[in-house]
Amino acid sequence: MAGDDRFTLQALQTDEDETIGTRSEIITGPVTDWATDFSHLEPEWSADPYPIQDDLRQRCPIARTERFGGAWLPTRYEDVAAIAYDTDRFSSRSIILSNFRPPPELAPIGGSPPISSDPPFHHDARKLLLPAFTRKTVARGEPATRAFCHSLIDSFEGRDVVDAAHDYAQHIPVRVIADMLGFPPEDGPQFREFVEDLLEGINLPPDDRIERVSRLFDYLLAQVHDHLDRPRDDLTTYLISAELYGRKLDPSVVTGAMALLLIAGIDTSWSAIGASLWHLAKTPADRERLVAEPGLLPTAMEEFLRAYAPVTMARLVRQDMRWHGVDMKAEDWILLSFPAANRDPAQFDRAAEVVIDREVNRHAAFGLGIHRCVGSHLARMELRVALEVWLDRIPAFTLDNPGGVTWSAGQIRGPRTLPLRIG
């Protein structure tokens, strides 16, 4: 791969550039009415979004806010599904709702393909990634993941209280994704900073945000060069060598896809593992039953994914239109809440309850339609192994301090501090 000049700083510069596109005024502070002024970045939402969503579903199923330059929040399953399926009227060119809208010309590729891509490009870019994320392929990483989970629990030796979010859940996807991309495992702490910068720093000043984004892309570029010098059997080398339409990938597609895998692969699984352990810590009957009936884990896991779905996506409205009773304008955001859809009583019996033996569970935790989470098989493997190892090694555990649990802010929701008593 010598002489590959796609990855010079100059070639990539425009892709990190947020100067083209439009910015809206940053509005923060307490929400006055969730139906007309919602914000998923306020502490009340982070702490417990479900009562808010349940209330909105009843009285205002497509809520509105003037924050972020204008956005809508549908809470019914049928509306969330309709938007996920309608790629003509709702663009994915930015999937993190913020105060910055990338220019429409960024479609159909978007900044982090294929999650940010629309048809027809989307299909071809996604096709490149799919073979690396099938159930069969990710199963090859299962023994190493299991051994890593055991090593984390070994490190708890002598402690009565551990932070299951910080000391366990977060390390698992970081290690798995570093292995897949072929990044040094000791860079893990940096990945977590990148994730926080991109997903939680939404309301930071633009310059600050641009600097944080370029830090990530500088890191990715260094990794690309390391792989150009020493090609190896991992996803980074695969993306550098991959071809689309008879040519090597555009450098921004390579680094964009790497950014996506790094960012989307970490917070999400970390949240799913943490939320599942949180539920079991506060619900002794479910914990005891799962320990006694390990065969129930696959069903229980799907229920945790339904009830505590970590991922909310965003879309941009393409053109002014009347849609399901509201007047949407071009460039309005949609906060596409799969968690809200998953708790719609019109779609699920006992929607607000966690039923660990729920046999029929057509949840949307991994999305619906063409953007189904490409890492869903990887996420399910990580979640299953993380819970199997934990329940095997630590069958009895409780919340040490329920008031000490903290949750992430933004579109990926999961516990970030989770003190558990294990002794």
Could you count the other beta carbons within 10 Å of the beta carbon of residue 34?
A: 23
Q: Which CB, 137 or 214, lies closer to another protein? A: 137
Residue with tokens 């910068």: 197
Min dist. Cβ of residue 82 to another protein (A): 14
For residue 371, give every residue at least 6 positions away whose Cβ sits within 8 Å of its Cβ, in sequence order, or none.
Answer: 84, 92, 114, 115, 122, 313
Rounded distance, CA 270 to CA 8, Å?
A: 33
Residues in the chain: 423
Min dist. Cβ of residue 64 to another protein (A): 28
Residue with tokens 């994320």: 133
DSSP 2-35: TT-GGG-HHHHGGGG--SSSEE-----S--S-TT
Whether 74 and 340 have beta carbons less than 8 Å apart is answered as yes
Phi, psi for residue 243 in degrees, rounded to 5: -125, 145
Long-range contact set of residues 105-111: C-beta below 8 Å, sequence gap at least 24: 106/21, 109/253, 109/256, 110/256, 111/15, 111/252, 111/256
Could you count the other beta carbons within 10 Å of the beta carbon of residue 140?
A: 9
Q: Which CB, 369 or 423, lies closer to another protein? A: 369
396: three-class secondary structure by DSSP: coil
86 binds another protein (CB under 8 A): no
In this chain, which of 215, 377, 393, 421 binds another protein, going by CB under 8 A? 377
Environment class of 402 (CB within 10 Å of its CB; exposed 0-12, middle 13-18, buried 19+): exposed
Rounded distance, CA 219 to CA 234, Å?
A: 17
Q: Which CB, 130 or 222, lies closer to another protein? A: 130
Q: How many residues bind another protein (CB under 8 A)?
A: 22
Min dist. Cβ of residue 370 to another protein (A): 7
In this chain, which of 46, 190, 376, 417 binds another protein, going by CB under 8 A? 376
Q: Which CB, 143 or 369, lies closer to another protein? A: 369
Q: Which residues of 302-331 are buried (b: 16+ CB within 10 A; e: fewer)?
A: bbbbbbbbbbbbbbbbbeeeebeebebeeb
For residue 173, give every residue at least 6 positions away whose Cβ sits within 8 Å of its Cβ, in sequence order, or none.
Answer: 265, 266, 268, 269, 270, 273, 382
Rounded distance, CA 264 to CA 98, Å?
A: 17
Min dist. Cβ of residue 115 to another protein (A): 14
Min dist. Cβ of residue 367 to another protein (A): 8
What character string, x for contact with another protein (CB under 8 A) and - otherwise, covers 248-287? ----------------------------------------
What character string, x for contact with another protein (CB under 8 A) and - otherwise, covers 107-146? --------------------x--xx-xxxx----------
Q: Which CB, 266 or 364, lies closer to another protein? A: 364
247 binds another protein (CB under 8 A): no
Q: Which CB, 65 or 312, lies closer to another protein? A: 312
Residues of span 287-326 touching another protein by CB under 8 A: 298, 302
Q: Which CB, 275 or 364, lies closer to another protein? A: 364
Min dist. Cβ of residue 305 to another protein (A): 11
103 binds another protein (CB under 8 A): no
Could you count the other beta carbons within 10 Å of the beta carbon of residue 55?
A: 14
Min dist. Cβ of residue 89 to another protein (A): 19
Q: Which CB, 333 or 366, lies closer to another protein? A: 366
Min dist. Cβ of residue 331 to another protein (A): 27
Min dist. Cβ of residue 141 to another protein (A): 15
Min dist. Cβ of residue 374 to another protein (A): 9
What character string, x for contact with another protein (CB under 8 A) and - otherwise, covers 353-372? ------xxxxxx-x-xxx-x
Fill in the DSSP letter of residue 165: I
Residue type, 137: T
Q: Which CB, 137 or 203, lies closer to another protein? A: 137
Q: Which CB, 35 or 235, lies closer to another protein? A: 235
What are the angstrom distances between the C-alpha of 375 and each of 113, 158, 265, 353, 361?
14, 35, 7, 27, 19
Tokens of 143: 């023994």
Q: Which CB, 63 or 84, lies closer to another protein? A: 84
| Positions that interact with another protein (CB under 8 A) | 127, 130-131, 133-136, 298, 302, 359-364, 366, 368-370, 372, 376-377
